[in-house]
Chains A and B, each alone.
Chain A
Amino acid sequence: MAEFVYPKLIGARLRSQLSYRASFAIDFVTQVIAQGYEMVVILVLFTQIDALGGFTKNEVLLMYAFAGAAFGVADLFAGQLDNLPTYIRTGSFDVLLMRPLRTLPQIMCSDIRLRRIGRITGALAVMFYALAHVPVDWSPAKVLLTVLTPVAGAVIYSAVWVVACSICFWIVEGREFANAVTYGSNAFTSYPINVYSRPLRWLMAFVVPGAFVAYYPSLALLGRQDPLGLPGWVGWTSPLVAALAAGVAALVWRFAVRHYRGTGS
């Protein structure tokens, strides 16, 4: 039965957002601009320097665009988890538990934020621009890598989102902690990770697998050596890391939901 419910649910959410057209248009444009401002920061820095961490402007833009597109897609589906504290505090999480559907997909479908497509559109535009301006030795495998990278990145970000928000089952107002990881992770992965200090890099690139969203796939595409010394094939492992992250996220979520006790009244 479930497979019939979700398309209907998602369809209803999308129609409801499109019914306020002007409001949607403004939200959409704001999201494109938000994504654009992050690019302006990179462009402003590159008016003063020629390379950041040894990477040229267009190479950094490629990483930024991969990260932006992946984060946009993840936000579309997993961003709703930011509302989890409300579900827990008001006890409406009980409702999700009573339905004969899994809790996580229910929350993810509770509000597909269509305006996020503005962010994705902006990032994809920069991605195509950057791909056209960086030296890539194209092969069918690299085309596949280019397509898979934002998808794998979106799965990684979504997994991070699920794990980070699971903290709300213990600390109800834990959303800001979670945001430090989710939004922080987006800011982190938009730049080459070799510019960060070692502790920050270990935490945000490997414990939270941010390095596999944009940095390593970009290195593989560009055919560049990793300044941090990891071998070249690492850039091709993002889909595996994504699958692993999704598995961990599922386990953490299941553990966290078991911890849920309801508000009692």
Chain B
Amino acid sequence: MLAGMTTNVVFGLLRVAILVAALRAANGEIADYDIAAANTYVWIGQGLLGFVLLWGTNELAERVRSGDVVVDLYRPWNLQGALLAEDVGRGGYALLTRLVPPMVFGMLLFPFQFPQNAVQWPLFGISALLALVISFGFRFLIDISSFWLLDNRGLYGFWNVSSGLLCGLTVPIAFFPGWARDVLWMTPFPAVLQAPIDVFLGHGDPWELLLLQAFWAVVMLGIGHVTLQRAMRKVVLQGG
């Protein structure tokens, strides 16, 4: 855990340095971000990364490949629901070990932009939880894609390299040119990281952001549910 935190902090420091250098070059403000907001953006992002588990394990996919998934499927439960519950539980632990430490680190050592309105704190909590559900939705779909692909490592790798930029981890989506910003906000990606950060910073209407996240959470879980149903019809038991 300490090792993971070191990596997290080192990358946070590097990202802060680049953003602050860019802000200095732009006379201190780019697209509603001043130096305090940029620091806050980075440290919340570094925390959410572990809380929503942006880069998960490919475990379920491996179980599909090896056939062990049969055990998961014949249990009297809804597989998607059970895994979601497990992931929310993991999130509860990650809240303390992954989300809070980088945020406190940022608050103590850097200029930090606290919410102006106390109600933003609970809204940020709800937003982070919705982000976790959407992130789960992505990971679940990538996992069960292996029912069709058998070897989903290409897709898994693709998600791992793409999600940071598309979700707004590496650079705020507000920094993108207008057209790219509009395209990205039409996808579920920003709902995973940029939306909760925006709720915390007070960028945009928080209720609108929450509504958008709720929409994507339902859509992602819905697609996951339908896809799993289809996959179940495909499962062929081998051996005896």
Q: Which of B12-52 contact A (CB under 8 A)?
A: 13-14, 17-18, 20-22, 25-26, 30-31
How many residues of chain B get a CB closer than 8 Å to chain A's CBs? 32
Report if B218 contacts A (CB, 8 A).
no
Q: Say if the beta carbon of B113 comes within 8 Å of chain A.
A: no
A144 CB–B CB distance under 8 Å: no
Contact A191 B18 (CB under 8 A): yes
By secondary structure, the A interface counts as helix
**Which residues 71-108 in B have Cβ within 8 Å of A in the complex?**
none
B180 partner residues in chain A, CB cutoff 8 A: 44
> Does any Cβ of A come within 8 Å of B157's Cβ?
yes
**Are A45 and B3 closer than 8 Å at their CB atoms?**
no
Determine if A105 is an interface residue (Cβ-Cβ < 8 Å): no
Checking A30, A49, A180, A196 against B17 with a beta-carbon cut-off of 8 angstroms, the contacting residue is A196
Contacts of B154 in A (CB 8 A): 23, 26-27, 30
**A173 CB to closest chain B CB, in angstroms?**
7
With contact pairs A176-B7, A184-B14, A187-B14 given, residues A47 and B177 touching in the complex (Cβ less than 8 Å)? yes
A169 in the interface (beta carbon within 8 A): no
A116 within 8 A of B: no
Residues on the B chain within 8 Å of A44, using CB: 171, 175-177, 180
The answer to whether B239 has its CB under 8 Å from any CB of chain A is: no
Q: Which one, B17, B22, B161, B162, contacts A45 given CB within 8 A?
A: B22
Q: Any chain B CB within 8 A of the CB of A48?
A: yes
Are A41 and B171 in contact, CB atoms less than 8 angstroms apart?
A: yes
B5 and chain A: residue at smallest CB distance: A176
A: number of interface residues (CB 8 Å): 36
In whole angstroms, what is the CA distance A37 to B169 when docked?
Answer: 12
| Bound complex: CA A153 to CA B92 (Å) | 42
C-alpha spacing A179/B153, complex, angstroms: 21
Decide yes or no whether A91 CB sits under 8 A from chain B: no
Task: Name the prevailing secondary structure of the B interface residues.
Answer: helix
In the complex, are the beta carbons of A175 and B3 less than 8 A apart?
yes
B-facing residues in A33-57 (Cβ within 8 Å): 33-34, 37, 40-41, 44-45, 47-53
- From B6, B151, B157, B165, contact of A180 by CB (8 A): B6
In the bound complex, CA of A80 to CA of B118 (Å): 49
Determine whether the beta carbon of B18 is less than 8 Å from that of A45: yes
**A197 at the B interface (CB under 8 A):** yes
- Residue-wise, chain B 148-186 has the 8 Å CB interface mask toward A (1 for contact) of 000101100110011011000011000111001000000
- B204 in contact (CB, < 8 A): no
Q: Which of A13-36 contact B (CB under 8 A)?
A: 23, 26-27, 30, 33-34
* Contact between chains at A184 and B7 (CB < 8 Å): yes
* A23 and B158 contact, Cβ closer than 8 Å, known pairs A41-B165, A44-B176: no
Contact check, A37 vs B162: say whether CB atoms are below 8 A apart.
yes
Contacts of A177 in B (CB 8 A): 3, 6-7
Q: Are B157 and A30 in contact (CB under 8 A)?
A: yes
- Nearest CB of B to A132, in Å: 24
Q: Is B4 an interface residue (CB 8 A)?
A: yes
Alpha-carbon distance between A37 and B159 when the two chains are bound, in angstroms: 12
Cα separation A179 to B26 with both chains bound (whole Å):
32
B121 contacts chain A at the CB level, 8 A cutoff: no
- The minimal Cβ–Cβ distance linking A165 to chain B, given in whole angstroms, is 13
| Contact of B21 (CB < 8 Å), options: A47, A187, A195 | A195
Scan residues 153-200 of chain A and give those whose CB is less than 8 A from a CB of chain B. Answer: 171, 173-177, 179-181, 183-184, 187-188, 191, 195-197, 200
B-contacting residues of A (Cβ < 8 Å)? 23, 26-27, 30, 33-34, 37, 40-41, 44-45, 47-53, 171, 173-177, 179-181, 183-184, 187-188, 191, 195-197, 200
- B residues bordering A, Cβ < 8 Å? 3-4, 6-7, 10-11, 13-14, 17-18, 20-22, 25-26, 30-31, 151, 153-154, 157-158, 161-162, 164-165, 170-171, 175-177, 180
For the complex with contacts A49-B26, A179-B7, 14 further pairs of A-B residues with Cβ separation under 8 Å are A30-B161, A37-B165, A40-B165, A44-B171, A44-B175, A44-B177, A45-B22, A48-B30, A174-B3, A176-B4, A177-B3, A177-B6, A188-B14, A200-B13
